[in-house]
Amino acid sequence: MTKLSVNINKIATLRNARGGNIPDLIKAAIDIQNFGADGITVHPRPDERHIKQKDVLDLSQIIRTEFNIEGYPSENFIKLVKTVKPHQVTLVPDPPEAITSNAGWDTIKNFSFLKDIITDLKEFGIRTSIFIDTNLDFIAKASEINCDRIELYTEPYAALFPINKEKAVAPFVEAANFANKIGIKINAGHDLNLQNLKYFNEKIPFLKEVSIGHALIADALYLGIEKTIAAYKELLE
């Protein structure tokens, strides 16, 4: 069964809008785990506009499932994840001012940069994943970088899915099959939701994990967080 990691950035965004501690990010993370999520994902940014560095440190004390920290591998980010030692670090190519992730790594252009970082992180016993598009050349290079996993950037799939789901998923099936063949495990994330997740998961049966935040937290406004997590988990069975 594909694991569900819940990205809680949007809960932190809501809290930060008013200051204080409502909603309580730590309580939310505990509840999300208790309601059946397989992991918690956070994406701390330099401006701390949602997840703050203190949040990451506090969360590391209460995560009993799997902790995935994603972000651009700046000096401060690497220092933070070495301190926390999460189960997984997902490297994304976002510049500091990006609103959200909008592309995967060019692993050819950034080969030496990424390889040095991943070698360093693996010495700390941290599983590594690279956020990446369906470009087969980039995936092949990711294998040479020696990352454990890739996370397929699924916004193009989500955008095309309502129009032509077969065409939408085709490049992702090809990319996943190729990665699986060369020994890289596959995660996925970005704009996956209750409408498009089941089909994606069925087409990639060896998918290890999906990281979902924006859509899941939005659905929870209508359904409640417990029912929402159950609904997403059901799609992954």
Mean pLDDT of the chain: 95
Instruction: Give me 198's structure tokens.
Output: 């089941």
Active-site entry in 43, 50, 151, 209: 43
pLDDT higher than 80, residue 137? yes
Say which of 66, 151, 190, 209 is annotated catalytic: 190
43 has catalytic annotation: yes
Residue 70 is a catalytic residue? yes
pTM value is 0.95
Instruction: Note the Cα 142 to chain centre separation in Å.
Output: 17
Q: Determine the Cα–Cα distance for residues 199 and 2; give it in Å rounded to an integer.
A: 13
- Write out pLDDT tens, residues 88-103: 999 999 766 655 566 8
Neighbours of 3 (CB within 10 A): 18
